[in-house]
Chains A and B, each alone.
Chain A
């Protein structure tokens, strides 16, 4: 029994953060008093947190996905319906926003703050356009008489788009936060914050493509 996991513990020990012995416990990125009133922490902690949040979100959507598959496989009451056309346009909009956020980050790295702000604003606008497009899709479905309770297929369509929309709305708030917060009195720089939000944003983009595939192939 011991052989296998002893090795694991050793590997973790050698590889991880505080264990190295040469990494100070706090403030290696910001150093000293950040003025935020909070204790300084290494900025890698923020990246850890974003990745953990994504793991939690994956579990949430996997639960919904498996429910989708189980429910679809259950009975003969599943009626497929044509996805509203606007969905495809929305998807392109969201894909484009992943591109603009990358451009914005590049300008941030180059120190071109004005260009960063412009492309960051494009990203925010595209995000809002996506959400509005999703609402249009809902309205189109409703106009056809397809509501959440109409059929399990439509229940899942509304549910999955709504849950993704909620998470994306959180992303838009984060985009706005990066734009409008005063970063001088903060534990991380605006550039780090932009990196963090872009991880989340790309993930939301990828998640949408997954959900779109699920809804399209599973309809």
Chain B
């Protein structure tokens, strides 16, 4: 049981339904709210992606809810844009950090709540508003924007004249993103403050679980990156609505109409601002997954994390380098070869901390007593996808190769594997690992394993062939390739990918069913079903309102004391006093 010190303030649970479940100040409720927001978003994003896949293979298929009964090229681009935006911002940024981070971080450091609960609630509801604004772009008459999640000007800056979704739809997109930036900034501030100042007695930085380290580094990235995106969004909004020319150059002719109201701006300025945010954003999506993978691999190998300090150092190094490499998204923008060389070198340097992490993960499971739970499988899947997706990054990091591969399906394959699917596997691992804590019941392992294998094989079937499409020169974002001669032989590859996508997406409903079924009918989880060491496993599942029932826990050791020689159990919880450990053996 927990060693309790009395002291610290009590605070009492609210009684009304609204204060308890809607405008709750409890980090656990807010974490679950973020989780469900991301769950809704991921299924929305997935629905958009399957429409894209269907359109690529059967461009003339009848699709409901479209004006002409078919998906037009404009609508295809709108699907691309909204799929990317929803997935990147509302899923990959939201679930691993705001969702699980909110729920687990305060408990893992021994705090009653986040430092600023009201701010926490505001972060969630601001995120919610941004989601609503973003989705409302679908419901304006001209439809959603067509400029992709990167919203490059001039396409995104000129208004209706450049395409149907570029009117009100793009404006809503920019406003939605600006609101999301504010929400993320507030959240990041809360995470960092909580981690730095609210740790329990004895919870030194060197004893923090790697999950907490990853949430901390992610929050720092968010704090420094989202302000830049916010600035970029404001500039873009002014170009769109106030007649300024930050991003719009002179001499433009759009569909035979000369643009005389703008001149002198630079579309490249947007690219610099966007990618200065955009590259750290990639790590915002993936770093929490790294933390979860380390944590889960250690727990289910019954071994300490191999090279804990190297893991922390690698996390910080990846976070720092993430700010130095934005130019590698712009190799073909006409940048000086010397700049390109510098960006290329910095990018490949990220391979070093990434390799440290990968080898340490392997070192962690090496010789361990591995328990192949579903959470463990997803953590192993994460490592696999991280390696696969990371290796293609080394190709793209070289300006000479990127000249060819830029804007092809090779890039689509690369970022989906590493930032999309790997991060999603991190979320799945976290879900299977912490579900018992959050809902007091176990997720069904059989369903979980079927879901894992279908998803694991499925995503490889979807994204591996895309590398070959890219190598064959297939550009991304083409709505219809059937009329393009050199792409015609690749159609069968698209066909295979679409079928794989259909199967993989169907498998996700098994996960959804498992989630809701297990909430109600799952096997009851005890306090510590995984025999894990960190503080969240020292309190009931689900935890009481104030986590430690008015007591302040103390921490006596590092986060990963598994299979300690001489100990009776193969794990020693962080809160166990040295005397109790002594008595135990």
Q: Which residues of A (100-152) have their CB < 8 Å from a CB of B?
A: 148-149, 152
Given A9-B309, A63-B276, residue A25 in contact with residue B110 (CB < 8 A): yes
- Can you sample 18 A-B contacts with CB below 8 Å? A2-B307, A2-B309, A13-B204, A22-B201, A25-B199, A26-B9, A26-B198, A27-B8, A30-B9, A31-B9, A39-B11, A39-B117, A48-B196, A49-B193, A56-B224, A63-B228, A63-B276, A77-B263
Q: Is A99 an interface residue (CB 8 A)?
A: no
Is there an interface contact between B242 and A34, defined as CB atoms closer than 8 Å?
no
Indicate which residue in A22, A30, A70, A76 contacts B266 across the interface (CB closer than 8 Å): A70
Indicate which residue in A27, A52, A67, A155 contacts B193 across the interface (CB closer than 8 Å): A52
Which residues of B are found within 8 Å of A8, using beta-carbon distances? 313
Which residues of A are found within 8 Å of B269, using beta-carbon distances? 67, 70-71
Given A6-B309, A9-B312, A39-B9, residue A48 in contact with residue B185 (CB < 8 A): no
Interface of A is mostly: helix
Interface size for A (C-beta < 8 A) is: 63
Is there an interface contact between A18 and B201, defined as CB atoms closer than 8 Å?
yes
Q: Which residues of B (244-263) have their CB < 8 Å from a CB of A?
A: 244-246, 250, 263
Indicate which residue in A2, A10, A53, A149 contacts B310 across the interface (CB closer than 8 Å): A2
Q: How far is the CB of A15 from chain B (nearest CB, A)?
A: 9
Of the listed stretches B230-238, B408-416, B516-524, name the one at the interface; the rest are far from the partner chain: B230-238
Is there an interface contact between A18 and B199, defined as CB atoms closer than 8 Å?
yes
A188 and B370 CA atoms in complex are apart in Å by 49
Is there an interface contact between B313 and A40, defined as CB atoms closer than 8 Å?
no
Is there an interface contact between B228 and A71, defined as CB atoms closer than 8 Å?
no
Q: A5-B312, A24-B7 are in contact. List 13 more A-B contacts (CB 8 A).
A: A18-B204, A21-B202, A25-B199, A33-B9, A41-B197, A58-B227, A70-B266, A74-B265, A77-B245, A149-B242, A152-B245, A155-B238, A159-B238
A61 and B227 CA atoms in complex are apart in Å by 8
Q: Is B205 an interface residue (CB 8 A)?
A: yes
Is there an interface contact between A5 and B313, defined as CB atoms closer than 8 Å?
yes
Q: Is B578 an interface residue (CB 8 A)?
A: no
Which residues of A are found within 8 Å of B190, using beta-carbon distances? 49
A10 and B111 CA atoms in complex are apart in Å by 23
Interface string of B183-199 (1 = CB under 8 A from A): 00100111011101111
Q: How far is the CB of A219 from chain B (nearest CB, A)?
A: 16
Q: Is B116 an interface residue (CB 8 A)?
A: yes
Given A1-B310, A27-B8, residue A55 in contact with residue B224 (CB < 8 A): yes
Q: Is B350 an interface residue (CB 8 A)?
A: no
Given A17-B197, A37-B11, A39-B8, residue A1 in contact with residue B552 (CB < 8 A): no
Residue ranges of A at the interface with B (Cβ–Cβ < 8 Å): 1-2, 4-6, 8-10, 12-13, 16-19, 21-27, 30-34, 37-42, 44-45, 48-49, 52-53, 55-64, 66-67, 70-71, 74-78, 148-149, 152, 155, 159, 163
Is there an interface contact between B197 and A33, defined as CB atoms closer than 8 Å?
no
Q: How far is the CB of A154 from chain B (nearest CB, A)?
A: 9
A66 and B388 CA atoms in complex are apart in Å by 36
Given A74-B264, A148-B242, residue A25 in contact with residue B9 (CB < 8 A): no
Which residues of A are found within 8 Å of B312, using beta-carbon distances? 5, 9
Is there an interface contact between B197 and A56, defined as CB atoms closer than 8 Å?
no
Q: How far is the CB of A203 from chain B (nearest CB, A)?
A: 14
| Closest residue of A by beta carbon distance from B222 | A56
A10 and B202 CA atoms in complex are apart in Å by 15
Q: Which residues of B (147-199) have their CB < 8 Å from a CB of A?
A: 185, 188-190, 192-194, 196-199
| Closest residue of A by beta carbon distance from B14 | A37
Q: How far is the CB of A215 from chain B (nearest CB, A)?
A: 16
6 pairs of A and B residues whose beta carbons are closest in the complex: A18-B199, A149-B243, A5-B313, A19-B204, A60-B227, A63-B231
Is there an interface contact between B231 and A67, defined as CB atoms closer than 8 Å?
yes
Q: Is B536 an interface residue (CB 8 A)?
A: no
Indicate which residue in B12, B224, B238, B356 contacts A1 across the interface (CB closer than 8 Å): B356
Which residues of B are found within 8 Å of A60, using beta-carbon distances? 227-228, 230-231
Is there an interface contact between A48 and B199, defined as CB atoms closer than 8 Å?
no
Which residues of B are found within 8 Å of A48, using beta-carbon distances? 192-193, 196-197
Is there an interface contact between A42 and B11, defined as CB atoms closer than 8 Å?
no
Q: Is B203 an interface residue (CB 8 A)?
A: yes
| Closest residue of A by beta carbon distance from B197 | A45
| Closest residue of A by beta carbon distance from B269 | A70
Which residues of B are found within 8 Å of A31, using beta-carbon distances? 9
Is there an interface contact between A16 and B273, defined as CB atoms closer than 8 Å?
no
| Closest residue of A by beta carbon distance from B310 | A2
Is there an interface contact between A27 and B7, defined as CB atoms closer than 8 Å?
yes
A18 and B197 CA atoms in complex are apart in Å by 6
Given A18-B197, A33-B10, A53-B189, residue A24 in contact with residue B552 (CB < 8 A): yes
Q: Which residues of B (202-242) have their CB < 8 Å from a CB of A?
A: 202-206, 223-228, 230-232, 234-235, 238, 242
Given A18-B201, A25-B199, A26-B8, residue A56 in contact with residue B223 (CB < 8 A): yes
Is there an interface contact between A148 and B112, defined as CB atoms closer than 8 Å?
no
| Closest residue of A by beta carbon distance from B273 | A63
Which residues of A are found within 8 Å of B12, using beta-carbon distances? 37
Q: Is B95 an interface residue (CB 8 A)?
A: no
Q: Is B281 an interface residue (CB 8 A)?
A: no
Given A18-B201, A60-B231, residue A41 in contact with residue B265 (CB < 8 A): no
A121 and B262 CA atoms in complex are apart in Å by 45
A111 and B12 CA atoms in complex are apart in Å by 33
Is there an interface contact between B273 and A67, defined as CB atoms closer than 8 Å?
yes
Is there an interface contact between B11 and A38, defined as CB atoms closer than 8 Å?
yes
Given A18-B197, A39-B113, A48-B193, residue A6 in contact with residue B242 (CB < 8 A): no
| Closest residue of A by beta carbon distance from B264 | A77
Q: Is B25 an interface residue (CB 8 A)?
A: yes
Which residues of A are found within 8 Å of B243, using beta-carbon distances? 148-149
Which residues of B are found within 8 Å of A17, using beta-carbon distances? 196-197, 199
A49 and B206 CA atoms in complex are apart in Å by 22
Is there an interface contact between B205 and A25, defined as CB atoms closer than 8 Å?
no
A63 and B280 CA atoms in complex are apart in Å by 15
Is there an interface contact between A52 and B263, defined as CB atoms closer than 8 Å?
no
Which residues of A are found within 8 Å of B224, using beta-carbon distances? 55-56, 59
Which residues of B are found within 8 Å of A163, using beta-carbon distances? 234
Q: How far is the CB of A54 from chain B (nearest CB, A)?
A: 10
Which residues of A are found within 8 Å of B196, using beta-carbon distances? 16-17, 45, 48
Which residues of B are found within 8 Å of A23, using beta-carbon distances? 201
Q: Is B316 an interface residue (CB 8 A)?
A: yes
Q: Is B200 an interface residue (CB 8 A)?
A: yes
Is there an interface contact between A71 and B310, defined as CB atoms closer than 8 Å?
no
| Closest residue of B by beta carbon distance from A55 | B223
Given A17-B199, A18-B204, A26-B112, residue A74 in contact with residue B309 (CB < 8 A): no
Q: Is B438 an interface residue (CB 8 A)?
A: no
Q: How far is the CB of A148 from chain B (nearest CB, A)?
A: 5
Residue of B7, B10, B197, B272 ringed by the most chain A CB atoms within 10 A? B197
Is there an interface contact between B115 and A41, defined as CB atoms closer than 8 Å?
yes
A33 and B7 CA atoms in complex are apart in Å by 10
